[in-house]
Amino acid sequence: MGKLVRDKIPDIIRRDGREPVVTVLGEAPYREALLAKLFEEAAELRDAPVEEVPEEIADVLEVLRALAQVHGYEWEDIERLADAKCAERGGFRGRLYLA
């Protein structure tokens, strides 16, 4: 089974002397693959040792940027929306857990 990879991964594989089998996904399969990748990266973040957390957060962020783009949004639009929601409803810094 395959998985969505970053754009330069096939070149890295070729530099290692191997030949990757690559398919360019259509829009609907790409969206599905991005959502699967988001869950994969979130699980890696959950399981990461503390020193690898920044790298895993960066991976999640890159998938989120791609999801915004494929749905027709600029990342700046998403940030403005997030800021507005935070101003209205708050963030998660208070560590509040509703039982």
Per residue in 24-50, pLDDT (tens digit) is 999 999 999 999 999 999 999 999 999
Banded pLDDT at 61 (limits 50, 70, 90) = very high
pLDDT at 83: 98
1 pLDDT above the threshold of 80: no
Distances in Å between the Cα of 86 and the Cα atoms of 29, 65, 83, 89, 99 are 32, 19, 5, 5, 21
pTM as predicted: 0.90
Mean of per-residue pLDDT scores for the chain: 97
